[in-house]
Amino acid sequence: MKKPSILVVLLLLSSCSHVTSLTKAKKSRPKSIRSLTSKTTHKEISKKHLDLLASEKIVAKMSAPVRKEVRVEKRQTATASNLPLRFEQRHYDFWLKYFSKKEKARFERHMSNGLKFEKIVHEVFKEHGLPSDLFFVGLIESGFNTHIRSHASAVGPWQFIKGTGKRYGLKIDRYLDERRNIYKSSHAAANYFKDLYNIFGSWELALCAYNAGEYRIINAIRRGNTRDYRQLVKKKLIPKETIFYIPKVAAARHLFKNRRKYGLKPKKADSAFYLNVDKVVAKSSFSLDDVAKKMRIKRSVLRKLNPEVKKSWVGVTKRKPMHLLLPKGKAKRFATLKIAKSSKISRIAKSSSTIRQSVSRSVSSVYRVKSGDSLYRISRKFGLPIKKIKRANRLKTSRIKIGQKLKIPSIGSKYTVKKGDNLTHIARKFKTSIQSIVSANNIRNHKIYKGQNLIILANARQ
């Protein structure tokens, strides 16, 4: 009777050793994705970060593969132009039928849009060393509609939400939304794809994270104790939409590349329109409609090339210049416009004397429009008729924008600040108000410095 009892004990001990290895690790809060990716997102995550990820068990160790699989899988091998994807055949067949039959007209429209931007996207991904077939992620995300917005407020061809877009260097403010620009958003998408692949180590999981979010996939990996996409699908640890995402990309890729076989007939796209362009830089605020008029370019053409511009006016700062696309051959003409140059007020030459008040002469100050300003309020501030301000700035209407620079014509004087001067002293000397000096010279926090040249407006004197 002793021999069987020893066997029983040994079996129990061996089974316990297996049980302990399969117990779940203690849950810890995942590291932020920002900390896992470098500050400059175009650089790869260092090995140190990936080791840290593994050591803290954010991504669990890969469990042994399950050999007994009922489902049929389709395997696509990696080549220079495609993605290595694995998925269930039934899911793939569903999307193949859905795109080629049920939603054929819609998919043809998406293909037509895709043909416009295919070469641009391929060149961007080639520059970043990524598979060109990531192009098809954009195809199923937005149909390459640059103005599309989802119910979750994801915008543009790559469907970036505001936070992710800003994290990857896209400008999103009252004037611009660069998520709509195919060039800028494609570079942002490339950097995002690289970071996701560096975190998860497979394109299936990287695309799942692109669809569902990084944290959701990290949590699924922790709960399932596996980094195998197929096992996560089998255990239903990722959302249903995300389970369908991989075969959806693969089906769209197959149909796009074999469109004749499936009778798909997208309209011919003018891809040359987006390729034959000049890239220019605007260094000061401007109106897109005014640029179109001065450049003799159709307004619709300029807006089509620059879909990130929300209205017409674009506020630009020295630190954040605006990159514009123009039809080929228009760059030289653009260089003659004022917005192509740095908008600095010309400095007044210093005199040999430390203090000098020049004779009265005609000078113009530049006033930057602030929140709550109107032409009436500005005219009252400077003691000028509204018509005179409009004439000096060639304004047809009384509409002005925040950040817009207005010339304030006047008869005034120049004054060079000396040691010991302050605004109160200068205002008393010229019998004017402090506010007049501050407004005319765009002074911030009422601070002036020795050697600074100030414009004193005659019509604002008391």
Each residue's pLDDT tens digit, 399-426? 888 888 888 776 567 788 888 888 888 8
**DSSP H or E stretch at residue 86:** strand 86-88
**pLDDT for position 285:** 87
361-460 CATH fold: Membrane-bound Lytic Murein Transglycosylase D; Chain A (3.10.350)
Let me know: does 84 contact 99? Beta carbons within 8 Å.
no
Q: Report the SS3 class of residue 32.
A: coil
Residues 6+ apart with CB under 8 A from 77: 84
Contact 458, 412 (CB under 8 A): yes
What is the pLDDT at residue 365?
Answer: 67
CA 60 – CA 219 distance, rounded (Å): 10
Q: Cite the residue boundaries of each domain of the chain with CATH code 1.10.530.10.
A: 32-62+74-169+179-257
User: Looking at residue 154, what is its pLDDT?
Assistant: 94
Low-confidence ranges of the chain (pLDDT < 50): 1-81, 342-363, 460-462
CATH 3.10.350.10 occupies which residues in the chain? 361-460
Q: What is the pLDDT of residue 114?
A: 94
Is the CB of residue 114 less than 8 Å from the CB of residue 139? yes
Give the per-residue pLDDT at 364: 55
Q: How far apart are CA 401 and CA 374, in angstroms?
A: 9
Q: Do residues 335 and 281 lie in contact, with contact meaning Cβ atoms separated by under 8 Å?
A: no
Question: Looking at the domain covering 32-62+74-169+179-257, what would its CATH class be?
Answer: mainly alpha
Burial profile 375-385: b = 16 or more Cβ within 10 angstroms, e = fewer: beebbebbebe
Instruction: State the pairing for strand pair 313-314/286-287.
Output: antiparallel
Structure tokens at 193: 């794809």
pLDDT of residue 357: 32
